[in-house]
Structure 1
């Protein structure tokens, strides 16, 4: 029995409940797409799944509104799959274990998937709602948004008649988005030579950082576990001498790394290791913002390794990580989004005899995005490393005049009695790609309040969810 059938937003919450029970990490959206298609079939609505896996659903207008211009709602089916180290969760088969904490919905030790499960739930509830008179409604559910807006890049525009669109992948509530950053991802690889290990080997680990969305939170000053661990390893190398044996940390390219560990061989017996790590931990913690200080740890444990990097390659990898750009690269005080350009060093590993680093670049200005990408290429060239770039996507440029944005602001303020704001965001949205494919589409972005996207701290505000659904119904009445 679904516990969320009652209340003004009961059906929307019920759909969210169902969605949470369906594994839907990026690239694994078939089951949730099947669910959307089953809802459409139950409602007797036209639906189609394209070759990319995107799903389109169309609902005719209510009596008296069938000939009104259509409205398109859009959200993405996938979620970022993050979990704490001590949590046993298989994102390929396990449902999200969520719970209510006051006014907030949270998950136990994993990301919640409010990004963008809330948008999917709103759209399904709108498709099902026959109590509110509304114009023709079109819904576009895209796939693989979190790994480079891949589904949006392959939409079939012949299935879209509407020329006004509400993207439901935004927030917080009451903020209506009018622009977003473009971006790209990259992978750096550098072969490393291995030698038989010598000396005591330990694993040194940074853990407990907050992490989060590498676009919307990049300016918070959150700690990057990879960069912090690099500083610790550099300091230990200077004090006692170390050789890298292995390195692994970070996660998705659009999440700020929370955890990173390195197995190292010590040049001496390690008798000073405890004291050195305590001193380093205290110093590094003092630099962190309070949100990171609370959980930050720098620890070590005994570890086994059969081989270690050559002295030259161990130094080279530490040099590379120290020099790798990370964080905010450009700001403009008069820009709708203070952060213009950024880069996130997201993931490091050693695979097949090579050191591998993955990163993502975002910018509202295409030329600055290319400048940062060129800087990484230059660094790679100096370090005899290879670069592979992928998933480039355009930004969504600000339109001074937008009828749908203007109407959303008016309806929201009238319906809630709260003040609305128009902003941009330093994150990638599918709006830019959709605008590129349908240039005359009038677009606005909105959503309910949620925090901690792309992290295990992700939470969804239940009163905001209810108000936002009510606002969307009011918008449809007005249209």
Structure 2
């Protein structure tokens, strides 16, 4: 029996179980979308998809006097981040997510859970499919490709929606209502290099055991960055060794802080001992700097044989100097919102392939100007190192509107259900509300959700009792909206 079937509210957890059963990483949402659309049609709901694959479900108002109230849009995204532990055999293209319950939390088994944002989608669907829930005219918008570039929201069709209010169900802290978010921009630094046969000891250096995490909401927590740790080690190799870089790989997704990295280098056998000592030194220093977040940090040096194709020492130094020069982490704290990061950058993905080194990052800011300023800095780093800068997937932040009628009703619902008012927050992460404002300029928006920890990592988990609380708040809010 699926352990989720024993949880309340049953309709929400049943939908989440059904979502977990169908693989749905970003770019592979089609099968899940097909199931949702088919079931909506069987239920007699009006449903359609746009060219991008976003799903639009419409349902008439239900309950006395509800038909005259303003329409509401419930919104989530159906793709998930695909991350697993190094020893997991899970295939995200074919295998279902396997949930398990541990001490009041739902986890997956060695993988991301997809509560971000499968649970938000499940709540919207549970309302749409229910026959006993009072609500005004209802629309459910389920977007695709949120986790990589928010392309679903970017290409949604506002003309298919009529609701005056939008409730985004994609935040991760119970007791909080989000009214604004950071915008973002993808940036790549690309540096060409030539390879040739290099003589000496061929070794692989692996950094593993860091916590990783979400590159927005976890960027200030001090989890460390495996790319930076490995680059620091390589930068400190003795210059006289003439070491040469054969490969460097880390990360897969821009919105995940890298927890592992590996490089292959060629260096004289006489320096093998110095490399091993340096690895121990960097590990100890990093653990001292990061404290408990680096308790499981491991830096391994493994011999691979003699000789390999590698970059020149000069090109190898340019690559590592570039990585050392790129800031990664919190760049500025907000002066308007206490404890909120204003601007950050996460150096997320690095790889070498076919004579080109690429460093990919995700820049976030509550404001537009800092994104432009930081990209000018990256341009300077690129020119100094001989690299080129490429930017794309720019999206604006979501500007708070504290006088929103929807926000006031949401505060009332939180107080009624929880006995206290919510914290009003701005989140340093990309919510689709920022992009959707362009398509729905006259729609008021808020966002809330259950408590989710470890999003975008195999440690992802959702606190069970906050799901029921979030559900009760949602149902109360649907009744209050006028």
* TM-score relative to the length of structure 2: 0.96
| Partner Cα separation in structure 2 for residue 442 and residue 183 of structure 1 | 21
| Partner Cα separation in structure 1 for residue 182 and residue 156 of structure 2 | 20
Residue number in structure 2 paired with 1:81: 82
Note the C-alpha offset of 1:472: 1.1
The partner residue of 1:310 within 284, 308, 312 is 312
Residue number in structure 2 paired with 1:404: 406
Give secondary structure in 2 for the equivalent of 1:422: strand
Kept in 2: contact 1:348–1:358 (CA 8 A)? yes
Residue number in structure 2 paired with 1:274: 276
| Partner Cα separation in structure 1 for residue 328 and residue 442 of structure 2 | 36
Residue number in structure 2 paired with 1:150: 151
Deviations 1:286-319 (A, max 9, x none): 11141x2221111111225630111110111011
Number of aligned residues: 478
Where do residues 190-209 of structure 1 align in structure 2 (5 Å cutoff)? 190-209=191-210
Note the C-alpha offset of 1:279: 2.3
| Partner Cα separation in structure 2 for residue 237 and residue 355 of structure 1 | 22
The structure-2 alpha-carbon separation of the partners of 1:373 and 1:200, relative to structure 1 and needing over 3 Å to count, comes to same
Deviations 1:78-126 (A, max 9, x none): 1111112211121111111221101001112211111101101101111
| Partner Cα separation in structure 2 for residue 180 and residue 63 of structure 1 | 34
Bigger drift between 341-350 and 302-311 goes to: 302-311
The structure-2 alpha-carbon separation of the partners of 1:6 and 1:82, relative to structure 1 and needing over 3 Å to count, comes to closer
Residue number in structure 1 paired with 2:443: 441
Give secondary structure in 2 for the equivalent of 1:197: strand
Kept in 2: contact 1:105–1:459 (CA 8 A)? yes
Kept in 2: contact 1:336–1:424 (CA 8 A)? no
Residue number in structure 1 paired with 2:343: 341
Residue number in structure 2 paired with 1:294: 295
Deviations 1:336-385 (A, max 9, x none): 56211111100101112101111110001100111111111121122221
| Partner Cα separation in structure 1 for residue 319 and residue 219 of structure 2 | 24
Residue number in structure 2 paired with 1:187: 188
Note the C-alpha offset of 1:74: 0.6
Kept in 1: contact 2:3–2:101 (CA 8 A)? no
| Partner Cα separation in structure 2 for residue 275 and residue 196 of structure 1 | 26
| Partner Cα separation in structure 1 for residue 319 and residue 385 of structure 2 | 9
Kept in 2: contact 1:97–1:108 (CA 8 A)? yes
Give secondary structure in 2 for the equivalent of 1:69: coil
Deviations 1:199-224 (A, max 9, x none): 01111111011011111111112201
Residue number in structure 2 paired with 1:25: 25
Kept in 2: contact 1:8–1:470 (CA 8 A)? no
| Partner Cα separation in structure 2 for residue 330 and residue 321 of structure 1 | 20
Residue number in structure 2 paired with 1:263: 264
Bigger drift between 83-92 and 458-467 goes to: 83-92
Kept in 2: contact 1:62–1:133 (CA 8 A)? yes
Residue number in structure 2 paired with 1:140: 141
The structure-2 alpha-carbon separation of the partners of 1:168 and 1:365, relative to structure 1 and needing over 3 Å to count, comes to same
| Partner Cα separation in structure 1 for residue 7 and residue 456 of structure 2 | 29
The partner residue of 1:285 within 287, 300, 304 is 287
User: Which ranges of structure 1 fall in alignment gaps of 5 or more residues?
Assistant: none
Note the C-alpha offset of 1:402: 0.8
Note the C-alpha offset of 1:469: 1.1
Residue number in structure 2 paired with 1:245: 246
Note the C-alpha offset of 1:4: 4.1
Note the C-alpha offset of 1:238: 4.5
Residue number in structure 1 paired with 2:34: 34
Residue number in structure 2 paired with 1:477: 479
Give secondary structure in 2 for the equivalent of 1:219: coil
Note the C-alpha offset of 1:403: 0.9
Note the C-alpha offset of 1:458: 0.6
The structure-2 alpha-carbon separation of the partners of 1:5 and 1:108, relative to structure 1 and needing over 3 Å to count, comes to closer
Give secondary structure in 2 for the equivalent of 1:155: coil
Note the C-alpha offset of 1:412: 1.4
Residue number in structure 2 paired with 1:68: 69
Give secondary structure in 1 for the equivalent of 2:468: helix
Note the C-alpha offset of 1:400: 2.4
* TM-score relative to the length of structure 1: 0.96
Deviations 1:414-440 (A, max 9, x none): 112244110100111110111122211
Where do residues 338-377 of structure 1 align in structure 2 (5 Å cutoff)? 338-377=340-379
| Partner Cα separation in structure 2 for residue 439 and residue 41 of structure 1 | 30
Residue number in structure 2 paired with 1:466: 468
Residue number in structure 1 paired with 2:131: 130
Kept in 2: contact 1:111–1:457 (CA 8 A)? yes
Kept in 2: contact 1:230–1:321 (CA 8 A)? yes
Note the C-alpha offset of 1:272: 3.5
Kept in 2: contact 1:251–1:347 (CA 8 A)? yes
Residue number in structure 2 paired with 1:388: 390
Give secondary structure in 1 for the equivalent of 2:90: coil
| Partner Cα separation in structure 1 for residue 3 and residue 102 of structure 2 | 15
Kept in 2: contact 1:12–1:122 (CA 8 A)? yes
